[in-house]
């Protein structure tokens, strides 16, 4: 077992989300090394090619005492669902996301992030996502409607 809280599960392949290749990586909300951002995330593809990840919620992500702020959890799910759409070939931006907070998420531990594309209806890309603790506890679930970009993103 690794001491790295963002180590992937066996069979996971490290990946970079395509939309994060635009702009300054140091300016990203998520993805900085553990301890340098409120939330650190590392992305992977599983054996089936689906987007998965590990997220670590640090002290700067605190909401209720000792637990992650719901906004930080929602940000990770937003990134995951949008990333799943991009990996599936749909360059998108968020139109609407809905997050259901199932159980509070203790700080200073990592959890598994998963997201998938459910349906594509014209420009609308429907997605879902989950944050699951190491013991299998579902901390949050989300659904989203993302909109396909009509023009490519601009580099800064």
pLDDT tens string, the chain, 156 residues long: the values are 568 888 999 999 999 887 665 555 444 456 566 666 788 899 999 999 899 999 999 998 999 999 999 999 999 999 999 999 999 999 999 999 999 999 999 999 899 999 999 999 999 999 999 999 999 999 999 999 999 998 755 543
Residue 57, C-beta contacts closer than 8 angstroms, at least 6 positions apart: 38, 39, 68, 72, 73, 105, 107, 108, 109, 111
Q: What is the pTM of this model?
A: 0.88
In the prediction, which pLDDT does 30 show?
60
For 27-40, the pLDDT digits (tens) are 445 656 666 678 88
- Which residue ranges form the domains of the chain, and what is each CATH number? 29-148 (3.10.129.10)
Burial of 47 (0-12, 13-18, 19+ CB in 10 A): exposed
């Amino acid at each position: 077992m690794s001491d790295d809280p963002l180590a992937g599960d066996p069979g996971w392949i490290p990946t970079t989300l395509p939309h994060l290749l635009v702009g300054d990586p140091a300016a990203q909300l998520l993805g900085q090394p553990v301890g340098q951002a409120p939330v650190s995330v590392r992305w992977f593809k599983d054996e089936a090619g689906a987007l998965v990840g590990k997220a670590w919620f640090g002290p700067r992500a605190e909401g209720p005492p000792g637990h992650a702020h719901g906004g930080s959890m929602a940000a990770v799910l937003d990134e995951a669902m949008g990333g799943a759409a991009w990996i599936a070939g749909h360059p998108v931006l968020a139109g609407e996301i809905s997050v259901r907070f199932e159980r509070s998420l203790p700080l200073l531990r990592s959890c598994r992030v998963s997201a998938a594309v459910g349906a594509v209806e014209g420009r609308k890309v429907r997605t879902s996502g989950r944050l699951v603790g190491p013991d299998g506890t579902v901390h949050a679930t989300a659904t989203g409607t993302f909109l396909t970009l009509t023009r490519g993103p601009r580099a800064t």
